[in-house]
Amino acid sequence: MLLDLDNILKQFIYNPKEPLIFSSGLFVFLFTAFLCGFWLLHKKHKLKIIYTILFSLFFYYKSSGIYFLILIGSTVVDYALANMIWKTKDPCTRKAWLVFSLVINLGMLGYFKYTNFLFEIFADLSASNFEPLHIILPVGVSFFTFQSLSYTIDIYRKEIEPVKHIWDYAFFVSFFPQLVAGPIVRAKDFLPQVAKDPIVTLEMLGRGVFLICIGLFKKAVISDYISVNFVDRIFDNPTLYSGFECLMGVYGYALQIYCDFSGYSDMAIGVALFFGYELCKNFDSPYQSLNITEFWRRWHISLSTWLRDYLYISLGGNRKGKWRTYFNLMLTMLLGGLWHGAGFNYILWGGLHGVALAGHKFYLEQKNAWNRLHVFFNTRGGKVLAWFITFHFVCFCWIYFRASDMNNAADVLGQIAFAFDIRVVPQFVEGYPYIILLLALGYALHLTPTRWEDRVREEITYAPLLTKGFAILVMIILVIQVKSAEVLPFIYFQF
């Protein structure tokens, strides 16, 4: 009995090897218990807010350990600075408070993410030895930092007013569904929901069930399986595989990262609906895009719009001439790449997308000069070609995003370019039947017309309660059947 109690208590202590994630059995148990308490407090607004904050802090503690104190500190500091910005009338002083907020938030982000990277560059330039400092990156620090900055910047721009109570702001920053991997929630979108008592409708519950089920399927069935059983093997030792297998590994990673990240977003949005809160849509079938600009309107929407509104526009956007616009696009994407990770491969990934966005903008501006090309790309065949080019450009960039370093990326590309052996196809089909099945299923579902997806969502949303329960049960059984032995955190936890 004492042994069982000890094991139970261990579940509530931070374990870096077993972070608390949506697809774990522990989360299902804790979430169910928390949800019951939340609904019992539905008529007591303040208690409900504080209750949710405490659970969110525990959720973050289970993901990052003692670093939950950083989340608390960031909340207190930004709440105070936002009030100072609002109360101050002098423009120079207001700007000084904003800069102070930027320095604190970006300084914290820079310390955890880029200290070792910068020291390593300095060591390479000075031809000296470098031992990496023992700095652990708090899970989701990039997400809640950007979320907090949206609050202070919007107040500086006088687009919103500061909240009256710190617990309302703490609820906004720490709300656990989107805390560690997005979507990046804007203060002006979410705070009005915090101020009033949420209403949970049957339609919201139905949508929540649908999104949680589809998110679980993406993450635990497709993404985790192809990651452990195929993609990781390819990228760990690309020279051991043919170019064809490496290419399949690139296609596999493109599907893996989409299913992993969009699966988390789906579950986050679905979980939030159970409490009556609406989070922004984060993905919109990005691999259906016909150009790179459209891709970034569909991929990680909360980040791309954040970078647009708070970085690109702040740099001048497209208001200061053609060449300045291209420069702003490049700089925004380079910084976006650096946001994802401290490595030259991430910078190159962002730079490639920046060049592509600037190139597409240049192409659109030459409509009269290249009229025939524009006409062609509006035909059915032209759209297919545009999709093919866009998808493979994105996949090419994913190589640098996934690779452990530049040499690893070069090995993958080298195998595809110079060791592409089509004769391995029969062996590949025989050796990876389930991988092929999941790749085909994943891409088929992704390329399905939106109206079909909407129809399925409506059927589940308005289905009887027993049908919803059966759908959840089937999904749990499916996840158990394909679940790997170890916990696989979401890819974007590292950002």
Annotated active-site positions, please? 340
Nearest to 361 by CA among 302, 311, 288, 353: 353
Instruction: Give the chain's length.
Output: 495
DSSP string across 177-211: GGTTT-----HHHHHHHHHS-----HHHHHHHHHH
Extract the tokens encoding 411.
């090995």
* Residue 243, helix vs strand vs coil: helix
Task: Give the number of other Cβ atoms within 10 Å of residue 81's Cβ.
Answer: 23
Nearest to 175 by CA among 242, 44, 75: 75
Q: Is 197 left (phi over 0), alpha (psi -120 to 50) or beta?
A: beta
Which residue reads 């993901």 in tokens? 63
- CA atoms within 13 Å, Cβ hemisphere of 288: 13
Is the distance from CB of 229 to CB of 435 less than 8 angstroms?
A: yes
Distance in angstroms (rounded) separating the CA atoms of residues 20 and 26 = 7
Nearest to 217 by CA among 464, 460, 466, 463: 460
Task: Give the number of other Cβ atoms within 10 Å of residue 197's Cβ.
Answer: 11
